[in-house]
């Protein structure tokens, strides 16, 4: 794994260079000489974040409209509270 460090200016001037470097490892982006951001590939991000799927990600999936979802109808009716 190679760690690449770019200044914010370098990143702004050549974002494609940063994306290519991210394939080999994290890219640290500095702001006034101090690390401010890290660029990772999406696969690497998923690996380190545990790959947990969020419901928002599932709802945004292509083809989701073809999945059938059956929600059972609630048969229990709420009864009024006895306050006597």
pLDDT at 17: 95
Q: Which of 16-20, 43-47, 63-67, 75-79 has the lowest mean pLDDT?
A: 63-67
pLDDT in tens, 54-64: 777 777 767 76
Can you give the pLDDT at residue 51? 67
Query: What is the pTM assigned to this prediction?
Result: 0.59
Taking only the tens place, the pLDDT of each residue in 75-84 is 777 888 889 8
Q: What angle do CA 49, 61, 18 make, to 5 degrees?
A: 50
Q: For the stretch 18-40, what's the b/e string if a residue is b when 16 or more beta carbons lie within 10 angstroms of its beta carbon?
A: beebbeeebbbbbeeeeeeeebe
Asked if residue 29 has pLDDT above 80, the reply is yes
CA distance 61 to 55: 10
pLDDT averaged over every residue in the chain: 86
Q: Residue 25 and residue 45: Cα distance in Å, rounded?
A: 11
């Amino acid at each position: 794994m190679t760690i690449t460090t770019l200044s914010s200016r370098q990143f702004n001037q050549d974002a494609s260079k940063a994306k290519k470097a991210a394939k080999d490892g994290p890219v640290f982006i500095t702001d006034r000489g101090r690390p401010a951001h890290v660029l990772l590939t999406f696969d690497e991000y998923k690996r380190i974040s545990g790959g947990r799927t969020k419901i928002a990600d599932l709802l945004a999936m292509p083809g989701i409209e073809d999945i059938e979802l059956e929600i059972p109808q609630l048969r229990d009716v709420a009864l009024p509270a006895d306050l006597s």
